[in-house]
């Protein structure tokens, strides 16, 4: 029997139990079961990240990505997994479990990063089984809302989402939020600087010119930028270019074309920079992340 109540959808049967609630475009789903073995289930594809938090120890579990077994084992309580839902995922629960998954659209993550004056090309690192007490606490805080969706406070859900996006983007997305504002760029300068860097990422430009646009000397601008973003303008730009490379490698372009499109001198230059930051060559990254049966588009599409 299926029961739909307002914001939530609750599927009741022998097992598993599924409860969900939506806040804006972010969906939160709790799935739990006391059965020792369930049939393998496909996870719907979406232009989103799935962030799953285990509420209890999960003794045995298998996970496939695009038909390839990528995980087999246990996940401890409070562990977190981040998956790119553009892939075809299939999960097989072999023991009792209880978890909460946040489905976060790429567009929502990008909008959040733009709202706080950070990189427009925000993405999360896909991690497996990392203990994360913050996400575990946020997931637990949502249990009453999942149990009683009609009584859920929209403002409370919005604040939980904001806390979650801030934590995820800083911990797994590389965004930096300075504790104090002393010695940092003003908000308008942060936005101007990142918009300028993003617009000119594949062309030569002068940092001195960017500093002048922010009405600062070059030396002070460099120091204030690092205080604001946790990295120098040069480092920020390199990481931004590599993020663009990752996106273009999932499309039907040659590696040489990707290099030129992202502002590198040539393919060899891009390979050196990309490998130093990711640990993979561009070719290896493409083989690992672009199965032939998965259609990709840019984050946010």
Q: Residues, the chain, total? A: 301
The pLDDT value recorded for residue 293 is 45
The pLDDT value recorded for residue 4 is 32
Question: Distance (Å, rounded) from C-alpha 251 to C-alpha 274?
Answer: 17
The pLDDT value recorded for residue 165 is 93
pTM for the structure as a whole: 0.70
The pLDDT value recorded for residue 119 is 62
The pLDDT value recorded for residue 296 is 45
Provide the sign of the torsion angle of the four alpha carbons 280, 247, 134, 4, taken in this order. Answer: negative
The pLDDT value recorded for residue 267 is 93
Question: Distance (Å, rounded) from C-alpha 52 to C-alpha 69?
Answer: 18
- What stretches in the chain show pLDDT beneath 50? 1-13, 293-298, 300-301
The pLDDT value recorded for residue 81 is 94
Q: Measuring CA to CA, which residue among 231, 228, 237, 235 is closest to residue 204?
A: 237
The pLDDT value recorded for residue 180 is 64
For tokens 């946020």, the residue is 138
Q: Is residue 69 within 8 Å of 36, Cβ to Cβ?
A: no
């Amino acid at each position: 029997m299926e029961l739909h109540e307002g914001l939530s959808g609750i599927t009741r049967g022998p097992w598993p139990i599924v409860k969900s609630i939506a806040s804006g475009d972010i969906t939160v789903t709790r799935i739990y079961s006391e059965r020792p073995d369930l049939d393998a289930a496909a996870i719907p594809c979406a232009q989103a990240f799935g962030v799953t938090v285990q509420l209890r120890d999960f003794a045995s579990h298998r996970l496939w990505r695009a038909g390839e077994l990528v995980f087999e084992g246990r996940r401890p309580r409070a562990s977190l997994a981040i998956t790119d839902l553009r892939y075809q995922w299939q999960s097989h629960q072999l023991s009792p479990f209880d978890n909460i998954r946040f489905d976060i659209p790429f567009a929502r993550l990008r909008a959040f990063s733009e709202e706080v004056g950070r990189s427009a090309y925000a993405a999360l690192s896909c991690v497996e089984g990392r203990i994360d007490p913050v996400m575990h606490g946020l997931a637990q805080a949502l249990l009453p809302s999942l149990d009683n969706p009609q009584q859920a406070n929209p403002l409370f859900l919005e604040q939980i989402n904001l806390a979650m996006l801030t934590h995820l983007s800083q911990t797994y997305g590389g965004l930096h939020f300075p504790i104090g504002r002393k010695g940092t760029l003003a908000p308008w300068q942060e936005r101007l600087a990142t918009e300028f860097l993003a617009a000119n990422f594949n062309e030569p430009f002068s940092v001195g010119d960017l500093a002048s646009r922010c009405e600062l000397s070059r030396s002070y601008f460099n120091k204030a930028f690092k205080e604001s973003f946790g990295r120098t303008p040069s480092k920020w730009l390199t990481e931004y270019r590599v993020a663009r490379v990752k996106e273009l490698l999932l499309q039907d372009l040659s590696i040489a074309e990707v290099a030129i499109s992202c502002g590198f001198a040539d393919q060899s230059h891009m390979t050196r920079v990309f490998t130093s930051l990711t640990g993979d060559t561009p070719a290896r990254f493409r083989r690992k992340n672009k199965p032939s049966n998965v259609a990709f588009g840019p984050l946010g599409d």
